[in-house]
Amino acid sequence: MTQRTTQTAQAQSGIPYFRANSNGPDASASGGGAIAVGTSANAQVGDAIAIGTEAIADGEHNGLAIGTTAHASSYYTVAVGRGALAAGPRATALGAETVAEGDHSLAAGGSASAPATFSTAVGTRASAADEGASAFGRSAKATGFYSLAIGTGSAASEDSSVAMGTKASAAAPGGVAIGGGAKVFADRGAALGSDARAEAVDGVALGAGSVCDRKRAVSVGTQEATRQIVHVGAGTDGTDAVNVEQLRQMLADVVAALDQRLDALDARLAAIEKEN
């Protein structure tokens, strides 16, 4: 076998367990210890890894880009998936078209977006758009400062707001909406239960379909659909709730006192009649 024949056979067989089929531009690994695999893959900095067609790892320190056009552009960033972008320091983007641009941000799931510092978005089209915001679920959106949205289509749009449940919405600062379709419209309101609504400041709506429209009040229903509150302990302070048993005892005490007064009055009248 001639040398040319040997070289041709080696080229056709390639490295065992590894194959590449492309006529595009070569990969480039210009950083020390860098690794680039794929057409136009580019690992530009030390210890960077770029794997996939046009994958780029050009941020400082150990960037990792895996997938067609994946891009890890800051230090200690990870971008995995077609078109994934990890642009903030220590950001992680996992999934096709995910974007993690904030410092220490995390975006996971198709088209998830975490553009702010310490933001976390997990789920298809989930978005965490303010510092410390977290969104979990398909199309969940946390757009307030340190807000939290959990559930498909949930939305926590104001600072420190919490929305948990399918299409739950906390649209006021400090609001808490828990349950499918639960909604908070006023500052520090709480809606707990499916389709519960807190419409007044510091109002609390408890139970499915409950509405609180009075400031600093607690509602367990609506004007049309009321509920009982059961198993309530006896009140002891002036601002405590009173249960039915206490009312019965109070009524019994009033009747007994009235009977005593009437008995005393009868005795006095009898004495007057006797004197006359």
In the chain, where are the structural domains located?
1-115, 140-227, 229-276
Is 183 buried (19+), middle (13-18) or exposed (0-12) by CB count in 10 A?
buried
Q: Give the list of residues 6+ apart from residue 159 with CB closer than 8 angstroms, or none.
A: 130, 144, 145, 146, 147, 173, 174
Percent of the chain scored above 70 by pLDDT? 95
Estimate to the nearest angstrom the gap between the alpha carbon of 101 and the chain centroid.
19
Q: For residue 183, report the phi and psi dihedrals to the nearest 5 degrees.
A: -140, 140
The mean pLDDT of 140-146, rounded to a whole number, is 98
- Check if 1-115 and 140-227 are the same fold: yes
Q: C-alpha dihedral over 252, 258, 260, 266, to 10 degrees? A: -150
Least confident of 55-64, 86-95, 100-109, 214-223: 55-64
Alpha-carbon separation of residue 6 from 11, 29, 74 (angstroms): 9, 29, 45
CB atoms within 10 A of CB 224: 7
pLDDT in tens, 224-233: 999 999 998 9
Distance, CA of 18 to CA of 35 (rounded, Å) = 15
**CATH number of the domain at 140-227, out of 3.30.420.40, 3.50.50.60, 2.150.10.10, 1.10.3720.10?**
2.150.10.10
Q: Which long-range contacts (CB under 8 A, 24 or more apart) does 243-246 make?
A: none
184-197 b/e with 16+ CB inside 10 Å = b?
A: bbbbbbbbbbbbbb
Fold of 1-115: Alkaline Protease, subunit P, domain 1 (2.150.10)
The mean pLDDT of 94-114, rounded to a whole number, is 98
The mean pLDDT of 161-170, rounded to a whole number, is 99
Amino acid at 146: Y
Q: Give the list of residues 6+ apart from residue 258 with CB closer than 8 angstroms, or none.
A: none
pLDDT given for residue 271 in this prediction: 78
Q: Is the pLDDT of residue 81 over 70?
A: yes
